[in-house]
């Protein structure tokens, strides 16, 4: 799975406490649709949705890594992609602020307590 994303890591990252993101340790950088481009074809992805079917959790069909997510949640700013920064070669997250979101209760737009 290959993609391009124009993003500013210093703007902050996000962690969600939903069972999916927490168990996969997904660390996301939010990207507007115009700043995201998928380079691989549709067959290279597996789309998984659960609970409210609000967020598309997209995995590489070859290796199984959760590469990015896609959603359109008005309370969270509308349509966006969330890139897993652990998939970005050479990304330095040292000192970058992390916002914790309450996806566990389908309440993404509100903060959640920090967790590991």
Q: What is the pLDDT of residues 83-111, one digit of tens each?
A: 999 999 889 999 999 999 888 888 877 88
CATH of the structural domain 3-87, one choice from 2.40.30.170, 2.170.150.70, 3.40.50.1580, 3.40.50.720: 2.170.150.70
- Domain locations in the chain? 3-87
Q: How many of the other CB atoms lie within 10 Å of CB of 36?
A: 18
Q: How far is CA 44 from CA 1, 18, 31, 60, 77, in A?
A: 6, 25, 20, 6, 28
Q: What is the pLDDT of residues 60-84, one digit of tens each?
A: 999 999 999 999 988 888 999 999 9
Entry pTM: 0.85
Spatial CA neighbour of 109 closest among 33, 13, 22, 16? 16
Phi, psi of 76 (to 5 degrees): -100, 15
Whether the pLDDT of residue 1 is over 90: the answer is no
Mean pLDDT value of segment 8-16: 93
């Amino acid at each position: 799975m290959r993609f391009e994303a124009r993003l500013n890591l210093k703007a902050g990252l996000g962690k969600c406490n939903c069972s999916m993101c927490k168990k996969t340790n997904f660390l996301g950088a939010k990207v507007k649709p115009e700043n995201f481009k998928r380079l691989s074809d549709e067959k290279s992805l597996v789309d998984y949705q659960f609970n409210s079917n609000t967020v598309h959790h997209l995995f590489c069909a070859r290796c199984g890594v959760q590469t990015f997510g896609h959603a359109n949640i008005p309370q969270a700013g509308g349509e966006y992609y969330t890139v897993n920064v652990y998939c970005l070669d050479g990304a330095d997250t040292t000192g970058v602020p992390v916002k914790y979101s309450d996806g566990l209760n389908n309440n993404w737009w509100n903060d959640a307590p920090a967790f590991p």
